[in-house]
Amino acid sequence: MQRLHPRGIKNGTITPFIWFDTDVQEVAKFYNGIFKNSKVLSTNPMSATIVINDQKLHLFNGGPHYKLNEAFSLMVSCETQKEIDYYWDKLLAGGGQESRCGWLKDKYGLSWQIIPDVLGQLIGDKDRQKADRAMQAMLKMAKLDLAALKAAHQG
């Protein structure tokens, strides 16, 4: 029989615990407004728990002691350019920052990767010329352009 943690978390599950220096109730509301399949499970002044596409995240208002950086990111896998554009624009809203190769930081400093599902196939192709062309195209992009990546792959 699996025991539950006092917060309702199953023992043995892995839940990202993300340290913020801001109102995590606001952060939870921001993410919940972006992802259609999301739900805020709980909030209090120090923490919030949210589920996005079946992935539970625990958000903690820990203060300025530790800063988020690119060593940790959340990756959103997208089927279409419309999805890539949607998540890119929504996560940058209000002061986010673009990076390279599909990476961005949202206004709270959390890093995200907005990636087309086929990226691994394109840059991991056994035909190294195709893979290299796709990789070179990606390295020149901030937001990934799915059609341009496929075109580069094809040559």
Q: Is 95 left (phi over 0), alpha (psi -120 to 50) or beta?
A: left
Q: Give me the mean pLDDT over the 22-30 stretch.
A: 96
Q: Two tokens at 149?
A: 């990546």
CB 149 within 8 A of CB 119: yes
Enclosing domain of residue 26: 1-67
Over residues 46-76, the pLDDT tens digits come to: 999 999 999 999 999 999 999 999 999 999 9
38, 67, 96 - which closes a domain: 67
Number of structural domains in the chain = 2
Same domain, 152 and 122: yes
CATH classification of the domain holding 106: 3.10.180.10
Q: How confident is the model at residue 13 (pLDDT cuts 50, 70, 90)?
A: confident
Same domain, 80 and 105: yes
Residues 6 or more apart in contact with residue 154 via CB below 8 angstroms: 130
- Provide the whole-model pTM: 0.90
